Structure 1
Amino acid sequence: MTKERYKPNTTVACVIHCQNKFLFVEEIIDGEVRFNQPAGHIEAHESLPQACKREVKEETGLDVELAGLISIYQFSADEQLSFVRFTFAAEVENLINCQPLDKDIHACHWFNLAEINTRKHQLRSPLVIKSIEDFLHKGHSPLSLINSDLQMIADNNNA
């Protein structure tokens, strides 16, 4: 008997910070408002930073420069659904009005920590607040920690 291989979803997210506020996207999931950082799944032939920047662009309309890797999280939503989430940090100078390109994103909001805490029951997962806490209290790893060299070689070989 062969045991089924554990296959978590690999996702990226970005904590975007400006003037003591954090950028959140608003989604409707199962008929309820949920808040999350710009986040999503990696697509074929993308590096982790490329996937993160693409997700930010799709969900907020912003082009950001990633400042570092906050953390890598493992999360099980239930028995069948689990994630490995690479969470990046970005800083922007001004509280920019965002224009989501993704039809599933209803709005973008800038929330301070107190406003986030009042919405804890509406956060997409426990990773949302954990990412902000780690952003505020842990050092960020440099992007050079992520080595996508072999991904790029594979992409060139398949071109």
Structure 2
Amino acid sequence: MTELEEDVWRPHVTVATVVPREGRFLLVEEDVRGRTVLNQPAGHLEPDESLLDAAVRETLEETGWDVALTCLLGVQQWRSPSGSQFVRFTFGADALRHEAGRPLDAGILRALWLSREEIAADAARLRSPMVLASIDDWLGGRRLPLDSVRSFSVRP
């Protein structure tokens, strides 16, 4: 690594999905450093992976739900209380099918469906402010076309 590369700041690049169904939203309850929090299905972008593929993969790994992305809800930037910084690409998705016996990622306690009211009432347990903001973006009608996100030189 060159000296210049060492000086470049790099935030965590993550993806998340908002998956609505019958007035409820798919969330995960997860253990983060001994604290049980609520989050959308979300995770880090992996090397040579497109943002779209990452969102579908993370949703399946964390919830057992196979989804079809429908839109980009937005790009969010957040600095956590610990000082870590994240850039998150949040997508809307339709639930297609559930693999009930599929093991969930390490740290994921369970997947659950909650209403916006239930999510807001449990705001102290949200992993970040991006969780409720993304639900509100969905409910507010925010939708960007998926072709707003373009990938070059990933997975040949």
* Superposition TM-score, scaled by structure 2 size: 0.88
**Separation (CA, whole Å) in 2 of partners of 1:4 and 1:79:** 21
Match of 2:74 among 59, 71, 76: 71
Q: Any conservation in 1 of the 2:32–2:107 contact (CA below 8 Å)?
A: no
Root-mean-square deviation (CA, aligned residues, Å) is 2.3
Identity of aligned residues (%): 39
Q: 1:113, CA displacement in angstroms?
A: 1.2
Q: 1:62, CA displacement in angstroms?
A: 1.3
**Separation (CA, whole Å) in 1 of partners of 2:47 and 2:23:** 35
CA deviation vs aligned residue, 1:82-120 (integer Å, no higher than 9, x gap): 0100000012379x6855521211111110111111110
**Separation (CA, whole Å) in 1 of partners of 2:63 and 2:82:** 31
2:145 is the alignment partner of 1:142: yes
Q: 1:20 matched to which residue of 2?
A: 23
**Separation (CA, whole Å) in 2 of partners of 1:101 and 1:17:** 20
Aligned length: 152
CA deviation vs aligned residue, 1:23-77 (integer Å, no higher than 9, x gap): 1101112322100000000001110000000000100111100010001001111
Q: How does 1:28-39 map to 2 (within 5 A)?
A: 28-39=31-42
Structure whose residues are more often strand by fraction: 2
CA deviation vs aligned residue, 1:127-157 (integer Å, no higher than 9, x gap): 0001101111132111111111x223xx43x
Q: Any conservation in 2 of the 1:100–1:108 contact (CA below 8 Å)?
A: no
Q: Any conservation in 1 of the 2:67–2:96 contact (CA below 8 Å)?
A: no
Q: 1:85 matched to which residue of 2?
A: 88
Post-superposition, which runs of at least 4 consecutive aligned residues in structure 1 deviate over 4 A? 96-100
2:108 is the alignment partner of 1:123: no
